[in-house]
Structure 1
Amino acid sequence: MKTEEKVFVVNIVPEQTKLQEYLRYHQQVWPEVEAGFRKAGYQKITLYRYQYLVVMKIVVPVGADLQQMGKTAEGYSPRCAEWNRLMSGYQAGVPGTAQGETWVEAKPFYEFRKE
């Protein structure tokens, strides 16, 4: 199966307490959430952080419908939808996002490869 990487960014609400809670949740992601990711077809999800900025890199099948994958993951268990609701309380859009918009895709504009 051919895969591709996609990168998304979001800010955490700029409060130290919120940030620490968010990080604690991600030390033990609920098993139902990860099972939902598997069912939806995600190959890999990696989160990076700099202060309140979170960068998420996902590896998915080429041409995957990310909205459908998200619905499949969330539909796996009521706990998945609960997780998403809970996490959204910690997230805020980066500058330039619309009101209520959180995760946005960061498009590549340069790549170096040693071939």
Structure 2
Amino acid sequence: MRKTGWSMGCMLLLLLVSCGTGRQQAALKEHVFVVNIVPDSVKLKAYLDYHAHIWPEVEAGFKKAGYHNITLYRYDHLLVMTVTVPEGADLAQMGKIAESYDPRCAEWNRLMDTYQQGIPGTAPQQKWVEVKPFYTFDHP
């Protein structure tokens, strides 16, 4: 029985999908951070507007540094950020790589810093603080 080019291609695709590509996916870890925005409605609006139009250099810096995902959540002036990176990654080093990608990346960080303040209990100059899980419900 002769296979057509289309059916051979489909068989090859199925074989690749079922066998995988041979590349191992690195294990990922999610980190969660919190910060407050300065209690000023004008500053909050400006901060949200900036994030509605992130500078392309900033996202390119994230890619270069190896971030897999960054998501921001908000309740009033409280921000929660999840960062997904390869397990064992050095977040401080990744931040330096991202910021060094382009001068606008460092400019972005300086600008965003003017809108942020630490949550109660943080050190005087500390802004973002990592929170640790203390309860998990997992239903397999």
Matched, 1:38 2:63: yes
Residue 24 of structure 1 aligns to a residue whose secondary structure is: helix
- Structure 1 CA distance, aligned partners of 2:137 and 2:51? 31
Distance 2:72 2:86 in 1: 19
State percent identity of aligned pairs: 64
1:87 aligns with 2:116: no
TM-score, length-scaled by structure 2: 0.82
Deviation at residue 96 of structure 1 after TM alignment: 0.4
Residues 59-109 of structure 1 deviation map (CA, whole Å, 9 limit, x = unaligned): 000011000000000000000000000000000000000011100001010
- Secondary structure of the residue aligned to 1:67 is helix
One-letter amino acid of the structure 1 residue matched with residue 86 of structure 2: P
**1:17 to 2:6 alignment:** no
Give the residue type in structure 2 aligned to 1:49: R
Count of residue correspondences: 115
Query: How far off is 1:114 after superposition?
Result: 0.9
Q: Which residue of 1 aligns with 2:136?
A: 111
SS in 2 for 1:74: helix
Ranges in structure 1 where 5+ consecutive residues have no aligned partner = none
TM-score by length of 1: 0.99
Give the equivalent residue in structure 1 for 2:32: 7
Query: Take 1:89 and 1:36, find their aligned partners in 2: how far apart are those partners?
Result: 20
RMSD: 0.4
Aligned mates of 1:99, 1:66 — CA distance in 2: 21
Runs of 4+ deviating beyond 4 Å:
none
Counterpart check, 1:47 vs 2:72: yes
Q: CA deviation at 1:16?
A: 0.2
- Which structure features the higher share of helix residues? 2
Who wins on radius of gyration, i.e. which is larger?
2
